[in-house]
Amino acid sequence: MDLKKGFFLKLKSSFLMFTFFFCMQSGALQAGLNLEQLKNKELIRWILQVEQLCKPDCIHICDGSDEEFKDLTAQMVKTNTLIPLNGELRPNSFLSRSCEEDVARVEDRTFICSMNQRDAGPTNNWKEPAKMRKQLLELFEGSMRGRTMYVIPFSMGPLGSSISHIGIQITDSPYVVASMRIMTRMGKEVLNVLENNSFIPCLHSVGVPLDKGMVDKPWPCNPENKYIVHFPETKEIWSFGSGYGGNALLAKKCFALRIASKMGQEEGWLAEHMLIMGIENPQGEKKYFAAAFPSACGKTNLAMLKSALPGWKITLVGDDIAWMKIKEDGRLWAINPEAGMFGVAVGTSYASNPNAMDTIKKDTIFTNVGLTKEGDVWWEGMSKDTPLNCINWLGNNSSDCLKENIAHANARFATPISGCPCVDPSFDDPRGVPISAILFGGRRSSVIPLVMQSTSWQHGVFLGTTVSSETTAAANGAVGKLRHDPFAMLPFCGYHMGDYFAHWLSFSNKTDESLLPKIFYVNWFMKDENSQFRWPGFRENGRVMKWIFERIDLKPNAIKTPIGYLPDEQGLDLTHLSICPKNLANLLSVDVMGWQDEVKELREYYKIFEDKMPQKILEELDALEERLKKN
């Protein structure tokens, strides 16, 4: 972070002025850190610069305490930002309803402002950094007037881990503060680790200053001026106008993926849109998998899966993001940089994900779900029957508005991972966990089989570049359209994806390839001619996990096909599973014509990366085409 280049307005406030603002904070917040506890001079300087720019009424430095959280939530209940849920049914839990124009990530308003446009690549929005800074400075000028400026120290990953990094978010949204307490390791302990070390500065404002006499909205936002901006060279994040999810919780996609992916490229590690799960067989042998799926394609469900196979256990390290480094033993080790889950509510139920349902019984903030007359939450797919007199996410009675959904399709829950019944014992281990397998997948109704294994690291990286999925409601735009999403990182890679592919390929040179994770591609979403899923249910995915677990050691037989290794007839454990033989055959076969069309489409798609497309990936595509011709 270079504070000498004038990224903010020149510092005019004195140290005494800062002390005045700190001491005159609102009486509603009794907790908080003392100024003397900020030992990092760069942090003090940055806070002063933001105060001068945004002109808040007061400043609160967050300590992450229970008392602070209670004060914040009580404050938001008074302003109708939060609705307390029935404490007997769901203790310490709240419902929030966003503005209708602020319900998801806004990819068209998300920018990678590298010095050179070519470095951002064709999959990112780019704007010249100096022009973007000028525009942002104008927007942030006085943006926190009438509000409290919160300073949030947070750690991405376990405190003290060699894979972790520190961030500081400044925001004027108490909702963001409360959510960040759930989603990160946040508070005064972070400052003890920070001291004089560097940090990632993350600046956020809802963009709605309050002049005297103005009444605040329960969900303030500025729909006409949304910007989520990343400066990869200087490792800064600026977000304006949105209070929702990854647009405002800057530790999540902005830091953990867009900025961290660039850091990983520079420093030789990986920041990935991946779950991390532990798999233990009946004999007590345990392995860890990482898996990359586009948003709302089942990562959270898989990470907390209850296997239908007796004796097989699955534990949760993380449901969304993995940071991975090669350690001294030559293996790839991973941490989950997050402390919470920001999961999609719609479709989550005791049938699809009982562990998630048990996790969100308490200590959870729900956004844009329904409210029952008993004071509990509800969403489509949570149960078979819709509760009577349920208030939907727009605040309307469902019986009066039959055409409106109870919950928004991208409704979310923010909940601590520590409350999950299947949380892995190594979830908070600073060493991380060793990764034995990497899975790619997407929502594909045809062509892609249930599971296949790559023939090499290079072939596996090629498979990662081919990921595509039918779009969901996690981002603004059309739903159900097939789009490419390499490595499930399309909206999250902070630099040119051609360089990103090359970075993945380089790992075969960083260690013995035999020590690297084996790579697989899965697809639970294949449908038949009647648009019914061929695979019988998510809980049965434990059978696929078993095959992958054993294939790591090459134990079960597999068939080598033009696209990779597939299970043979005895490969999958189908004990007590009722599945139509035709469906099983389709799930485990190679659709040659479909793959030939896939090759043609990929060849066109790769052209967008121009000369940055690694030659090794093109060679894999050529080789696949030749193998399909011979089949």
Q: Catalytic residues, which ones?
A: 105, 244, 253, 273, 295, 297, 320, 412
End-to-end Cα separation, the chain, in angstroms: 55
Q: Which residues pair with 441 in a beta bridge?
A: 522
Helix H or strand E segment including 343: strand 340-344
Dihedrals phi, psi of 70, to nearest 5 degrees: -65, -40
Read off the tokens for 449: 């089989």
| Strand, helix or coil for residue 414 | strand
What residue has token string 């023939």? 455
The Cα-based distances of 187 to 39, 161, 191 in angstroms read 14, 17, 7
Token pair of 473 as six digits: 């409601």
Rounded CA-CA distance 103/473 in Å is 10
SS3 611: helix
Nearest alpha-carbon partner for 503 in 316, 306, 266, 301: 266
Which residue's entry shows tokens 């001068």?
52
> What are the backbone dihedrals phi and psi of residue 437, each rounded to the nearest 5 degrees, phi first?
-145, 145
Closest CA to 432 of 518, 332, 292: 332
∠ CA 350-355-356 to the nearest 5 degrees? 80
Contacts of residue 322, Cβ cutoff 8 Å, sequence gap at least 6: 270, 271, 272, 274, 275, 276, 290, 334, 335, 336, 435
Nearest to 121 by CA among 605, 618, 610: 610
DSSP string across 400-412: T-TTS-SS-TT-E
Angle at 293 between CA 287 and CA 295, to 5 degrees: 130
Pairing of strands 94-96, 365-367: parallel
137-151 CB burial, b ≥16 within 10 A, e <16:
eebbeebbbbbbbbb
For residue 57, give both structure tokens.
């009424």
25 beta partners: none
User: Is the sign of the CA dihedral 536, 540, 546, 551 positive or negative?
Assistant: positive
**Any bridge partners for residue 365, and if so which?**
94, 414
Burial class (CB in 10 A: 0-12, 13-18, 19+), 296: buried
Q: In 380-472, where does DSSP find H-type helix? A: 457-465
Closest CA to 517 of 473, 545, 553: 553
